[in-house]
A = this chain, B = another copy of it.
Amino acid sequence: MDKFLALTEEKRTTILNAALQCFGKFGYEKASINDIAVAAHISKASVFQYFGSKKHLYIYLLEYCKKIIEGIFDKEALDSQTDLFDRIMTSSKIEMESFKTQPFILQFISSVWEETSPDVLDSLVILTEETCKFRNDMILREDDALKFKNPEDAGPVFQMLLLMAEGYAARYRGADTFDFDTVMDDFQKNIAILRKNFYKEEYLK
């Protein structure tokens, strides 16, 4: 793998993106090294030169994604003491911004949750653990509900927002092009509308 690290960053990300895309799309067993090599515009032999084996490459990707998520997580933890809607918005924004440069990480991560191949089953925990941590961080807090006209609506609304985020992810999964700014704009408008209708008057700054 030191062979791989010696490459230029551009070449590395091209290869990683190709691998993330193929594994994300086909799953571990159905994705072939040849698929990845073609997508990365290199030879199949080079993939083995860099990573040794298919399994090693997959595990490398798991750890690679883990590091990226850790990076997001830290930044997000900094500004976590705000309003519920602001919190959701900023964390989504950070998440989206990070994935802007790494467009295939999202579908790879979600594919990991469906992976069943015994070859890599033991290794999946590397990523699943990390993604759980990420989700738990932006959980609903107690005093969030107080701002709602009907405090009991806070939980469902939060769930609806998570659901919508999943909907966005599903809608653009596998699409080649993806206008992040437009989607975030859309999401922001939706959040504003929800806030306006659910919050007590006094919390509508």
Chain A positions within 8 Å of B, measured between CB atoms, are 25-27, 30, 114, 149-150, 153, 156-157, 159-160, 162-171, 173-174, 186, 189-190, 193, 196-198
Q: Smallest CB–CB gap between A32 and chain B, Å?
A: 9
5 sample A-B contacts, Cβ–Cβ < 8 Å, listed by A number: A153-B197, A160-B164, A162-B167, A163-B163, A197-B198
Q: Is the CB of A163 within 8 A of B153?
A: no
Within 8 Å CB of A198, what residues of B?
197
Within 8 Å CB of A165, what residues of B?
167
Q: Is the CB of A190 within 8 A of B149?
A: no
Within 8 Å CB of A174, what residues of B?
114
CA A189 to CA B198, docked complex, whole Å: 15
Contact of A163 among B25, B27, B159, B171 (CB under 8 A): B171
Within 8 Å CB of A157, what residues of B?
193
Within 8 Å CB of A30, what residues of B?
26, 30
Q: Is the CB of B159 within 8 A of A190?
A: yes
Within 8 Å CB of A169, what residues of B?
170
Q: Smallest CB–CB gap between A155 and chain B, Å?
A: 10
Q: Smallest CB–CB gap between A125 and chain B, Å?
A: 19
Q: Smallest CB–CB gap between A70 and chain B, Å?
A: 24
Within 8 Å CB of A164, what residues of B?
160, 163-164, 167
Taking A25-B27, A26-B27, A165-B167 as known contacts, 10 extra A-B pairs with beta carbons closer than 8 A to each other, sorted by chain A number, are: A26-B26, A30-B30, A114-B174, A150-B197, A156-B189, A163-B164, A164-B164, A164-B167, A166-B171, A167-B167
Within 8 Å CB of A193, what residues of B?
153, 156-157
